[in-house]
């Protein structure tokens, strides 16, 4: 039997530009969504964010590495996002590791993603990417 987190992850991973309406099956109307670049409140804002996200990428795929339920209605997903964006990394496949903190009753009402925003964006933009990689090398 799948845990809530495994079922959520499978359904979330099946989302694409044509299935944004399925977000209502996964998230409550009053959902709070946060990541290093955004803070959204409410299902309409989340739908708009994902519609824009999927409209601008050429490929999106998730690999889930862990489902950790801390207590009923509270847990973490560990994942790797694989995607292609025409303006990042010359359209090459980019992989990003992260973790999602979720709280739910019947549906998720709190979702916070943790990931390296530099690895997502800044390292794959010409000029800025070179500077960020150089700086990371100097700090290492």
The pTM of this model reads 0.81
Average pLDDT, the chain: 84
> Mean of the pLDDT values across residues 115-140?
57
Q: Name the band, by pLDDT with cuts 50, 70 and 90, for residue 124.
A: very low
Domains belonging to the chain, first-starting first, are 4-139 (3.10.450.50)
Q: CA gyration radius for the chain?
A: 16
For range 63-71, the mean pLDDT:
94
| Long-range pairs, 61-69, Cβ under 8 A, ≥24 | 61/13, 62/9, 62/12, 62/13, 64/6, 64/9, 64/13, 67/3, 67/5, 67/6, 67/9, 68/5, 69/3, 69/4, 69/5
Q: Which residues pair with 29 in a beta bridge?
A: none
pLDDT digits (tens, 9 = 90+) for 97-121: 999 999 999 999 999 999 887 655 5
pLDDT confidence of residue 96: 84
């Amino acid at each position: 039997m799948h845990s809530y987190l495994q079922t959520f992850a499978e359904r979330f991973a099946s989302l694409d530009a044509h299935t944004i309406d399925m977000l209502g099956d996964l998230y409550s109307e009053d959902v709070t969504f946060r990541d290093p670049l955004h803070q959204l409140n409410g299902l309409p804002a989340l739908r708009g964010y994902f519609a824009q996200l999927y409209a601008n990428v050429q490929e999106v795929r998730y690999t889930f590495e862990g489902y950790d339920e801390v207590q009923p209605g509270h847990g973490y997903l560990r994942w790797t996002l694989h995607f292609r964006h025409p303006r990042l990394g010359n359209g090459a496949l980019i992989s990003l590791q992260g973790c999602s903190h979720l709280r739910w009753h019947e549906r998720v009402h709190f979702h916070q993603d943790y990931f390296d925003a530099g690895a997502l964006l800044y390292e794959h933009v010409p000029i800025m990417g070179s500077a960020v990689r150089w700086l990371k090398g100097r700090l290492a």
